[in-house]
Homo-oligomer: A and B are copies of this chain.
Amino acid sequence: MKIVNVDSNIKPYRILLGNGIRYDISDYLQPQYSSILLISDTNVADLYADDIMQGLQGYDSVYLEVVHAGEQSKSVDIYYELLTKAIELGLDRHSLIIALGGGVIGDLAGFVAATYMRGIDYIQVPTTILAHDSSVGGKVAINHEQGKNLIGSFYPPSLVLFDTATLATLPTKEIRSGYAELIKEALIADEEWFEKLLSEPLARLNRDSLTEYLKKGIEIKARIIEKDEKELGIRKHLNLGHTLGHALETKLGYGVMTHGEAVAVGLLFAMHVSEAEFKINLPKEKLSRWLEENNYSFNLSIEMIDELIDLMKRDKKVIKQDIQMILLQNLGEPVIHSMDVTKMKDYLATFIAQISKSRK
């Protein structure tokens, strides 16, 4: 088992990574919880909920709530339904919520925990590669019709339990999605690692390498969170690729493109803008080729520009009316950059033209 400690200012916690550790969950629960609510989705519950429930047999009151798989469940309606369930099941301030699933479940169940009776403990049990990112750092949220994650809190989990065995059942598109966040972390932190991540096609990825990559990604994130938990400064670097990525997801409707695929497009765009703004060369072509070879989709067309710009302006990262974006001065050297809307529009147009051409 691998352990990463996060020395959070709000509440320190541990991330455990290991093959099959979901069976031993009760070994890692510290306090005596009065009851436990396991929240999962229709994809994951069938596969792993029983394993977790069995590990919790020592507790009196353990319940399971299953929501529909997909981003649509991060709505205010489902959020409220889960709160209602928690009340009806008699959860109190000494109860625990366990989020079993990908990022959607982690964000949703985490926000329920953050706001149920002004906050109860919760544990993240991520079951996707993508969730290595969302399960660490205490960002919990639901979506507003007008944008992703606009409603939420900073509310760290008590523990993250990452059973790498659960990744074996992931569909290819989920692997693709999660791997994009690993690439993002490498771009922020470490050129050598970036090269390594692109050195092989995804189809040949084995679990040992993946576990190693996940631990590395988590460590990069943990060190950033320790310095800036509330995202006032350097934590924003983790939004590399997300300004366009989020806008694209919202524009297409959640679920059309996976989060990671949208971020992958965003990463390319961030490199495109960085090259122009800083007059540098980045391995944009290399990343673009690798993404294409690994069947990442590229849903962008000139007609979308105005709407995407509007959505980017509405993003959390907007300060007044400039668009704030994370750029790279070099590999491993992210910076926060403010740009006016007209310039952004031009960049988006040249970017779409360039990529569309190279992909023909």
Contact = CB atoms under 8 A, between A and B. Distances in A.
Contacts of A321: 90
A319 B34 contact: yes
Interface string A300-342: 0000000000000110111111000000000000000000000
Given A92-B316, A146-B84, A115 B115 contact: yes
A84 B231 CA distance: 23
Q: How often does this chain occur in the complex, in copies? A: 2
Given A115-B115, A141-B118, A154-B119, A80 B76 contact: yes
A150 interface: yes
Nearest to A118: B152
Contacts of A230: 118-119
A139 to B, nearest CB: 7
Contacts of A84: 144-146
Nearest to A315: B92
Given A144-B84, A146-B87, A151 B316 contact: no
A144 B145 CA distance: 22
Interface residues of A, number: 39
A186 to B, nearest CB: 26
A118 B153 contact: yes
A93 interface: yes
A83 interface: yes
Interface string A3-27: 0000000000000000000000000
A333 to B, nearest CB: 24
Contact of A83 (B94, B115, B151): B151
B320 A115 contact: no
A149 B115 CA distance: 10
A92 B320 contact: yes
B150 A87 contact: yes
Interface in A81-102: 83-84, 87-88, 90, 92-94
Nearest to A139: B118
A316 to B, nearest CB: 5
B150 A116 contact: yes
Contacts of A118: 139, 141, 149, 152-154, 230-231, 316
A153 B114 contact: yes
Contacts of A34: 319-320
A117 interface: yes
A80 B92 CA distance: 25
A346 B12 CA distance: 45
A77 to B, nearest CB: 9
Interface string A118-159: 110000000000000000000101001111011111100000
Contact of A117 (B88, B117, B150): B150
Given A144-B84, A314-B87, A151 B94 contact: no
Nearest to A34: B320
